[in-house]
Amino acid sequence: MTSRYTPLPEPPRTLLVVDSELDKLEGVRRTLHEAGFVTLTATSVDEVLDRLEQEEISAIVVADSMGIPVLEEVRARSDVQPSVVLTGLTDEAAVAEAYEAGADDFVSDSAPPVELVGRLRGLLRMRVDLERIAKKQRDAQAMLELTQALASSLDFSEILHTVVRRIADVVNVDRASIVLVPDSEVHDVGFVVATSDDREIADLQISLEKYPEIQQVLKTREPLTISDAATHPLLDGVRESVPDHAVVALTLLPIVWRDEAMGVLFLRSAQKRALGGREVDFCRSVANATAIALRNARVMQSLRDQTQKVNFARFEAERRLRSLKRYANLFTSAADGLLAVDREGCMLFANPRAYALGGVAEEEMRGRKLKSLVHEDDHEELTRVWSRLLQGDFSTGLDLRIRRPDGSTRVVSCAFSALLDSEGAILVSFRDVTAEREMAAELVETKEFLESLIDASVDGIVAANMRGRILLYNQGAERLYGFPQRDVIGKKNVTELYPPGQAKEVMRMIRAEQHGGPGRLESVRFDALNVRGEIVPIMLSAAMIYDEAGKPSATVGIFTDLRDRLRVEERLAQAQQKLAVTEKQALIAELAGTAAHELNQPLTSVIGYGELLQRKLARDSAEHHAADVIVREAERMADIVRKIGKITRYETKSYVGTQKILDLDRAVDEPGAEPEERREQ
């Protein structure tokens, strides 16, 4: 069924139809629906309030029977103020009461439906006009606030952040940014100086090759709107670098000063939408105001030409000093020392931190040569750096020593840069790094000492991470294992230094409670495996290394080669065994000597008496034969005693005829013989 009403000129507004009589309610709702309105219904005051909580209602059409209660509740709510039209009023008193209660219009029962539709359309048009006027007022107020902010003398980075945050609120976008370009002709690098959703972003350098939309706006100096970033052909080459759904709609407006494109105002939204004409005009005005403010906030202004430099050098220096001092507030609170010097190295301006580091007053520093502050041993280095500066090669991170008036020396890290629009003036920033450099030198010295100590150690020292990868391998370990350092550190696993299975046993023992406690292993006998596959006996002490969080991060072991010690112990055992045998032999010899000594006199007597009997007795008698036996056996015993005496260094001497007995006197007097008291023990 075709509607007899012309379409609404604006997006459909939601109307709430209220009546306790369902037939009338449905009739009014149908009429409004045919007219193109979105309609909701309610049959009680409570239901009206629920609808207002849940929906955005533009107008309420309420029957006269419920009009006053509904009006009272609606007007009592300051956050929701829809237009209210009463139907069914007949007399003047009821109409007056309705207007007094806050009704916006009324329609009698006898009026045709087209009158109700017309009155509602008129109210909604009036509402749209009022909203438009209110938005213009808000825009004007926002523009006034932003203009005042841009014209203020506060910190400019904070001002720009306030501007983009206010723009994002006014035009309802997810992010508003200001991107500036240092070169108006070559659009290859840009700087994000402020964003609405991140206060920390400032002077963020970006490559404009990844932002073709910015390059186009800078080139054409015309606004650009991209309602769908996923399909726009301009972004075909860079679309993969943008996360999905992070950016859907883009609006860019140029920031132009006298035909010079200084940057862009960049608006991004995560929803498909295009800014309206009012919003674009507002942003364009902000961009123009920003261009003026940026131009006025240049850090340095162009210095006068120096045609009369020879005659007016001092005048020029003072003039430039005055122009630079206008920016003193920008440097006063800086933590680093800042110096502005001319191309001859004369100081034009310095901040308080620079005075403090140099140890001189402002009056003493003005006009001095930068070289006069630098230690004489660093003059040659400063001269080399300065010659490169004059050719446009600016150095950073250069360490120089400053000689202070009190005789002390400070080490400062310097960076040099050109001051924009300053006819070659150079900015020197420096900070005191004396303590850092002293600590670094001490750390280097300590590191070198520890490295030499580790390398000089007789024992092998090996450290590995928790995956077993070797991190430290000293010369002692080289001698023990035979692997060169270049083939081990970062390449071999510590398990390759042990026979199969022993590395796991070592880790188990390190973690165990015994052997020095968890994380330590003290003097335990193990075997190592050298480069030739030979088993090498070692004594191992090891420990776990923990990080700041208390988690194990590495292990270190000290390997003592036991081969020489074991060989020495073996030779010592052999010597001890030989000594024991020698002592035993000496004891036997001593006993034999003692026995020989004791037998010497009796045998001498027996032989003497036997020979005496031989002379006295008849040769053929039995007694003479017995005497022969006695002498013969005694001589055999004497021969045995003599042999024992030779073993024990006892000698014999002639006794009677051809008989020999022990010569105890000679044994005592012979060099090397034992003392008499020793033999008589």
Summarize pLDDT for 449-489 with one digit per residue, the tens.
877 878 778 888 999 998 999 989 998 888 889 999 899 99
Residues 248 and 327 in one domain: no
Residues 205 and 242 in one domain: yes
* Residue at 308 is within a domain: no
Residue type, 374: V
Residues 174 and 205 in one domain: yes
Query: pLDDT of 189-235, one tens digit each?
Result: 888 888 888 878 877 888 888 888 888 888 888 888 888 887 888 88
The number of domains in the chain is 5
pLDDT given for residue 484 in this prediction? 92
Q: Among 369, 403, 434, identify where a domain stops.
A: 434
Residues 596 and 543 in one domain: no
Residues 516 and 636 in one domain: no
- Which CATH number covers residue 553? 3.30.450.20
Q: Among 401, 434, 467, identify where a domain stops.
A: 434
pLDDT given for residue 483 in this prediction? 92
Average pLDDT on 44-64 reads 82
Residues 512 and 407 in one domain: no
Is the distance from CB of 209 to CB of 188 less than 8 angstroms? yes
pLDDT given for residue 469 in this prediction? 93
Write the CB contacts of 14 (distance below 8 Å, at least 6 apart in sequence): 37, 38, 39, 40, 55, 56, 57, 58
CA dist., res. 621 & res. 597, Å (int): 35
pLDDT given for residue 140 in this prediction? 58
* Residue at 255 is within a domain: yes
* Residue at 477 is within a domain: yes
Residues 540 and 646 in one domain: no
Residues 268 and 343 in one domain: no
Residue scoring higher pLDDT (412 or 57): 412
* Residue at 393 is within a domain: yes
- Which CATH number covers residue 41? 3.40.50.2300
CA dist., res. 83 & res. 104, Å (int): 6
Query: pLDDT of 97-143, one tens digit each?
Result: 777 777 777 777 767 777 778 777 877 777 776 666 656 666 555 55
* Residue at 587 is within a domain: yes
Write the CB contacts of 51 (distance below 8 Å, at least 6 apart in sequence): 16, 40, 42, 57
Residues 428 and 501 in one domain: no
Domain that holds residue 270: 151-296
pLDDT given for residue 319 in this prediction? 62
Query: Helical H runs in 260-333?
Result: 277-296, 313-325, 328-332
* Residue at 7 is within a domain: no
Residue 246: both structure tokens together? 């992070």
Residues 58 and 118 in one domain: yes
Query: pLDDT of 371-413, one tens digit each?
Result: 888 888 888 888 888 888 887 777 777 888 888 888 888 888 8
- Which CATH number covers residue 630? 1.10.287
Residues 118 and 210 in one domain: no
Residues 583 and 534 in one domain: no
Query: pLDDT of 313-354, one tens digit each?
Result: 556 556 665 655 555 556 676 778 888 888 888 887 788 888
CA dist., res. 151 & res. 158, Å (int): 13
Q: Among 374, 400, 434, identify where a domain stops.
A: 434
CA dist., res. 176 & res. 201, Å (int): 12
* Residue at 9 is within a domain: no
Residue 309: both structure tokens together? 């430099």
pTM above 0.75, yes or no: no
Q: Mean pLDDT over all residues of the chain?
A: 76
* Residue at 370 is within a domain: yes
Of the chain, the end-to-end C-alpha distance in Å amounts to 150
